[in-house]
Structure 1
Amino acid sequence: MQFKTILIDDEPISISRMRRLLNDYNDTFDIIGEALNGQEGLEIIEELKPDLIFLDIEMPILSGFEMLAKLTYMPIVVFVTAFDQFAIKAFEENSVDYLLKPIEKSRLDRTVLKLQKLTANQSVKLSSESLQTISELIKPKKEIHSISVRNGDKILIIAFHEISHFQADEKYVFLNTVEGKQYITNHTIVNLTEKLPDSFIRISRSCIVNATRIKELEKHFNGKYLVVMQDQKRSKLETGISFHDNLKRLMEI
C-alpha cells in the first residue's frame, strides 16, 4: 500500500531531511504536500485528505496537538518529536508511532515496516481520547519551588530545601522540616509524587523523602533499610519492599 503523505514541521531543514529519508521508500510513501506550521497543516490536510502525516509537535501558530484537535478528517499520525525517552512512552502506549529527532534510518525502517503491515481495517488513526491521553502524559510538570501549609490563621510557604520528608499517618499527610517542625498538608502521597521534583523519592507507601537530606542508610530486617535524615530529629524512616528500587537507583547501592 502506498500512503498519500504530508510532512508538517516548522523547520524547513527537517522537512528536507525527511523527504530525503522517505525517498528510499517510494513504494510506501507518496509525498503530496508539506506545511511549516499547524495552521498550514490544518488547511492542507482538510484539502488533500492524506492517508498519513509526519507531524512535529512544537510549532508556531498551532502546535501539533492543537492542529489535531481541530481536524474534521483524521489521517494516520506519525509524530516527529524531540521529547525524551521517558515522555515518548506516551506515544507507544497509545499505539501511535513516533520518530525521535534526529531521525535514525534504522528507526524509520521500523516505522515503515509497521505501516506496511496495515490494512484498510487496521489503521492506527488517532482518536480524540488517545490524543488527550498523550497530551496529558507529555505535558511538562508545572515547575514549583515550595509547598504551602496552614499554621493557625497563617499560610506558610515552605521551600523544598527546608523539607526533610513527608509522612502519611491515617488520613493526614505531614510535612516535616529540617528544623524538626511538622505541618499538616492538603495533599495525598500520590499527589505529592506527581508535584515534587526528582530530588524527592518515595521510599514506602506512606513516606517521601528529600534525597538531598539523607544522611545515611542502615540495614534493617527482611532486606529493608532505615533512612536516616539530616534533620534536627535525626528521623529514621523505614523503606517499603516495593519501593526499594527507587532508593537503590538514587543511592547507587
Structure 2
Amino acid sequence: MPTAIIADDERLMRDQLRLRLNQVWPELEIIGEAKNGDEAVQLVAELKPDLTFLDIRMPGKTGMEAARDIGDQSAIVFVTAYDQYAVEAFERGAIDYVLKPPEPERLQLTVDRLKARLKALIEQPGSLPVNDSVTLMLSQLAEKIAAPKPKYLQWIQASIGQDLRMIPVEEILFFRSDEKYTCVQTDKFEALIRKPVRDLAEELDPALFWQIHRATLVNVNAIDGVTRDLRGRHLVMIKGKSDKLEVSRSFLHLFKQM
C-alpha cells in the first residue's frame, strides 16, 4: 500500500485531511503526523513515506522550506488555503496540491493525479524532476507567504440611519451580507456597510472572526453553540440573540471540536 505523512500545525486540519483521504483513497496508509516543517523532515527521513502532505505555512520551518530539505525522498503534496493566484501557479507547475478545507469531490481529482504520479515513479524512477520554472514559482510563492502580515482592522465605520459610527471590531457579533450591503450586528444595534464579507475576511483577525458561510463572518467569542434544524443544516447560535447563522459545508470543520 502507498504510505504518507501529514504535516500541518492545526490538529483539526490534520484530522480533517486524514478523514477525507480515507474516504477517497482507503488504500493510502497515513503512517505519521507532524506539527511543523522540522518534524516533517525528520519523519520523512525515519519513515520514508511515498507521499508527504505539507501545509504551506507552518511555524518554524515552512512547508516550502521543508520541501527543499525533503528533496526527492518523498513526493510532495502542498496543502493550501490560498487564493486562486496560488492555485493557478500550482497548476502551471504541475505540482500536486490539496485545497483547504479538503472536500471529497475536489480531493478525488488530486488523488487520481497522485496515483498516476506514483505509478510513473515506479515505472521510471526520477522521471518527474522539478524544473527551474517550478522552483522559481515556489520561491516567489514562499516570499509572498513570508511577507509581513498586514495589520488587522480595529474599527469599522458603519452607517446607522444618517449617522456614521466607529465600531470596535471586538464589539461586533457577526457580519452578514446580501446583494448590496453587509449588516454589522452588535449587542446593542445593527449598522450597514458596503464592504462585502469576502473583503472583510481578509482584513479581520481570523483568530477572532470565523467565516462560516460565503456571506457570514462570526465573532468567535459570540458563539453560544451549534445546533441542527429539521433540514439537517448546521446553525450557529449567538449569545443573547435569537439569530441563528447557517454554516455551509465548507466551514463545518471549524466546529468539529465542539
TM-score, length-scaled by structure 2 = 0.49
Larger radius of gyration: 1
Task: Give the CA deviation at 1:93.
Answer: 1.1
Distance of aligned partners of 1:44 and 1:126 in 2 relative to their CA distance in 1, 3 Å threshold: farther
Q: Secondary structure of the equivalent of 1:102?
A: coil
One-letter identity of the residue aligned with 2:40: G
Distance 1:80 1:69, change over 3 A: same
Alpha-carbon shift at residue 71 of structure 1 (Å): 2.5
Q: Distance in 2 between matches of 1:134 and 1:53?
A: 16
Distance in 1, matches of 2:71 and 2:84, equals: 31
Q: Distance in 2 between matches of 1:7 and 1:97?
A: 14
State percent identity of aligned pairs. Answer: 37
2:36 partner amino acid: N
Does 1:133 find its partner at 2:132? no
1:12-51 to 2 correspondences below 5 Å: 12-51=11-50
Structure 2 counterparts to residues 77-226 of structure 1, below 5 A: 77-118=76-117, 119=119, 120=122, 121=124, 127=130, 129=132, 130-137=134-141, 139-140=143-144
Distance 1:11 1:124, change over 3 A: farther
Quote the Cα distance in structure 2 between the aligned partners of 1:138 and 1:89. 15
CA distance in 2, matches of 1:92, 1:16: 26
Q: Which moved more, 1:8-17 or 1:134-143?
A: 134-143
Distance 1:33 1:116, change over 3 A: same
> Partners in 1 of 2:126 and 2:101 — Cα distance?
26
Matched to 2:19, the amino acid is R
Aligned-residue offset at 1:137: 4.5
**Number of residue-to-residue matches in the alignment:** 142
Q: Which runs of 5+ in 2 are unaligned?
A: 149-258
Cα 1:26–1:92 shift into 2, 3 Å: closer
Say whether the 8 Å CA contact 1:65–1:131 is kept in structure 2.
no
Contact 2:6 2:32 survives alignment (8 Å): yes
The worse-fitting range, judged by mean Cα deviation, of 35-44 and 74-83 is 74-83
- Could you report, residue by residue, the CA deviation over 1:123-167 in whole angstroms, capped at 9, with x for unpaired residues? 786637423422214632979xxxxxxxxxxxxxxxxxxxxxxxx
Q: 1:166-223 CA deviation, whole Å, 9 max, x = no partner?
A: xxxxxxxxxxxxxxxxxxxxxxxxxxxxxxxxxxxxxxxxxxxxxxxxxxxxxxxxxx
State the 1:69 CA deviation.
Answer: 1.8
- Counterpart contact for 2:20–2:102, Cα < 8 Å: no
Report the Cα offset of residue 35 of structure 1: 0.3
- Tell me the SS of whatever aligns to 2:45: helix
For residue 100 of structure 1, report the CA deviation from its aligned partner: 1.5
Q: Please, which runs of 5 or more residues in structure 1 have no aligned partner?
A: 144-253
Stretch deviating more after TM superposition (36-45 or 70-79): 70-79
1:26 shift after superposition: 4.9
Amino acid of the residue matched to residue 107 of structure 1?
A: R
Query: 2:13 and 2:63 mapped to 1: Cα distance?
Result: 15
**Taking CA–CA contacts closer than 8 Å with sequence separation of 6 or more, which of the two structures ends up with the larger relative contact order?**
2
Higher mean alpha-carbon deviation, 68-77 vs 110-119, is at 68-77
Give the SS at the match of 1:140. Answer: helix
Give the match for residue 58 of structure 1: 57
Aligned residues: CA RMSD:
2.5
Shift of 1:57: 0.7
TM-score under structure 1 length normalisation: 0.50
